[in-house]
């Protein structure tokens, strides 16, 4: 038998110290395991288990947070890329539409120029040319020549035409191929003569600048005592007939009033002056 002698225990209750006498215990049987009745060995195991569980839960929460943040970032990145691709597609589509619209507008403009503007301008120039030649007595320039004897590409059957029809065709071609008589041709007398241009140092000399519709500016010196008709003679001599064109002052913009017998000084040309050559409005 063995006995364990334990030291006296001191318990404090109600402020008094009590001592107990040692007690005898039964002999202890040796065991190969751990004494689970000891609180010093049991309590630390539960504590470690709880700490381990807490760490596992914390790790799971951290992983969940990382996964959620990463997923949201990847989704936003993908959506931004998709948005950029859509924008690029829209820009390309808009550029293509604008290019097609510009090409369509260019085609419309070219058709308008070819079908409307050019024929209108050609017709207007033709009318002006015809009227100018009629005013200057050179209407013969508008007629075109004709070949004698018919066209070169006539077939063999045309050679079998009766002599009477051939004579008629020749008689019809004669008036068209005849040249105008000398009386009908314009003479140099129809173009008015201008007085001699005075020197720049002469007294009462003024310089008149004539701005043409083509943009050219012509200059000539005159004396103040010259007749105002000399301006219209100058117009006709340079190719602008008075029936088609008129003169006007530059500032203030008004038609130049010219009456018979007035000199340049009478109509207000006393210093160097700029006159504008304008086309008269055509009335149907």
Greater model confidence, 178 or 68: 68
DSSP H helices in the chain? 39-112, 118-136, 163-177, 229-237
Q: Which residues contact 49 (CB under 8 A, 6 or more apart)?
A: none
> What is the Cα–Cα distance from 275 to 258, expressed in whole angstroms?
13
User: Domain-by-domain residue ranges, the chain?
Assistant: 50-141, 191-279
Residue 110 has phi, psi (to 5 degrees) of: -65, -40
Fold for the domain defined by 191-279: Ubiquitin-like (UB roll) (3.10.20)
With a cut of 50, say whether residue 173 has pLDDT above it.
Answer: no
Structure tokens at 141: 């320039």
The pLDDT tens digits of the residues spanning 34-82 come to: 454 444 444 568 888 999 999 999 999 999 999 999 998 888 888 878 8
The residue length of the chain stands at 284
The dihedral sign for the CA sequence 160, 162, 165, 169: positive
Q: Is the pTM of this model over 0.75?
A: no
Structure tokens at 111: 């058709």
- In angstroms, what CA-CA distances link 28 with 1, 9, 25, 34? 9, 21, 8, 14
* Distance set, CA 4 to CA 25, 31, 187, 219 (Å): 7, 17, 167, 149
Quick one: pLDDT at residue 168? 52
Asked if residues 131 and 141 have their Cβ atoms less than 8 Å apart, the reply is no
Does residue 231 have a pLDDT over 70? yes
Rounded to a whole number, what is the distance in angstroms from the first to the last CA of the chain? 155
Mean predicted confidence (pLDDT) in 189-195: 71
């Amino acid at each position: 038998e063995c006995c364990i002698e334990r030291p006296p225990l001191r318990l404090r209750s109600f402020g008094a110290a009590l001592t107990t006498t040692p007690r005898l215990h039964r002999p202890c049987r040796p065991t190969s395991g751990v004494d689970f009745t000891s609180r010093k060995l049991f309590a630390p195991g539960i504590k470690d288990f709880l700490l381990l569980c807490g760490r596992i839960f914390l790790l799971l929460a951290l992983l969940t947070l990382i996964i959620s943040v990463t997923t949201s970032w990847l989704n936003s990145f993908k959506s931004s890329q998709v948005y950029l691709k859509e924008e690029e597609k829209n820009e390309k589509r808009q550029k293509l539409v604008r290019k097609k619209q510009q090409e369509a507008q260019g085609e419309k403009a070219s058709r308008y120029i070819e079908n409307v503007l050019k024929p209108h301008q050609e017709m207007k120039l033709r009318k002006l040319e015809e009227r100018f030649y009629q005013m200057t007595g050179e209407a013969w320039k508008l007629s075109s020549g004709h070949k004698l004897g018919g066209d070169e590409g006539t077939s063999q059957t045309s050679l079998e035409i009766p002599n009477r029809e051939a004579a008629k065709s020749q008689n019809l071609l004669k008036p068209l191929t005849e040249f105008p008589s000398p009386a009908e041709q314009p003479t140099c007398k129809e173009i008015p003569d201008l007085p001699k241009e005075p020197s720049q140092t002469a007294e009462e000399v003024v310089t008149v600048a004539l701005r043409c519709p083509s943009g050219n500016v012509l200059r000539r010196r005159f004396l103040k005592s010259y007749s105002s008709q000399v301006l219209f003679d100058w117009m006709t001599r340079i190719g602008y007939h008075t029936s088609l064109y008129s003169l006007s002052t530059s500032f203030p913009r008004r038609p130049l009033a010219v009456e018979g017998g007035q000199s340049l000084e009478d109509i207000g040309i006393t210093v160097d002056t700029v006159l504008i050559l304008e086309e008269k409005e055509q009335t149907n």
